[in-house]
Amino acid sequence: MEIQQKHFDEQTRLRMANEIMELFGQWRVSLDDQHTLLGLPDSVRKRHMYKYGEDEPLPDDEQVMVRAEHMMGIADALRTYFPSSAHARSRFMRSHSKKFSKRVPLQIMVEDGVSGLIRIRSHLDCTYAWDLSGSHAS
């Protein structure tokens, strides 16, 4: 069985770029970590990251899009988890947690890559974790 790749049109990638850059601002993510979280190739200079918050769509790259989708899923789950406090959402991303062996969620996402993004998303979004477990009915 062949897995089909998802492709996003330029307008969708531009919207995602704007949303991701807004998240990075809310979460106070460093420029280096922004580059790492998106899994951008070295050919994309870190000093040009700001363009993604303006008029530059995310690259049409499967790994970048997978990471972006996970970050947007994390942001959605945080809005559900902390519906009335953007400050609490940001604090969660930057605080040590017993659930994560005293690691910081943002640190896990940066250091562990896609598996770290999935770990944080699964913790925050029980529906995503349920789907991921294969426990849902087909």
Instruction: Give me the residue spans of the domains in the chain.
Output: 10-133
- pLDDT in single tens digits along all 138 residues of the chain: 333 456 789 999 999 999 999 999 999 999 999 999 999 988 888 888 889 988 899 999 999 999 999 999 999 999 999 999 999 999 999 999 888 999 999 999 999 999 999 999 999 988 776 766 666 555
Which residues make Cβ contacts (< 8 Å) with residue 43, sequence separation at least 6?
Answer: none
* Helix, strand or coil, per DSSP, at residue 103: strand
* Helix, strand or coil, per DSSP, at residue 9: coil
Surface-to-core class of residue 38, CB atoms within 10 Å of its CB (0-12 exposed, 13-18 middle, 19+ buried): buried
What's the pLDDT score for residue 18?
A: 95
* Helix, strand or coil, per DSSP, at residue 38: helix
Write down the pTM of the prediction.
Answer: 0.86
What's the pLDDT score for residue 136?
A: 52
What's the pLDDT score for residue 134?
A: 64
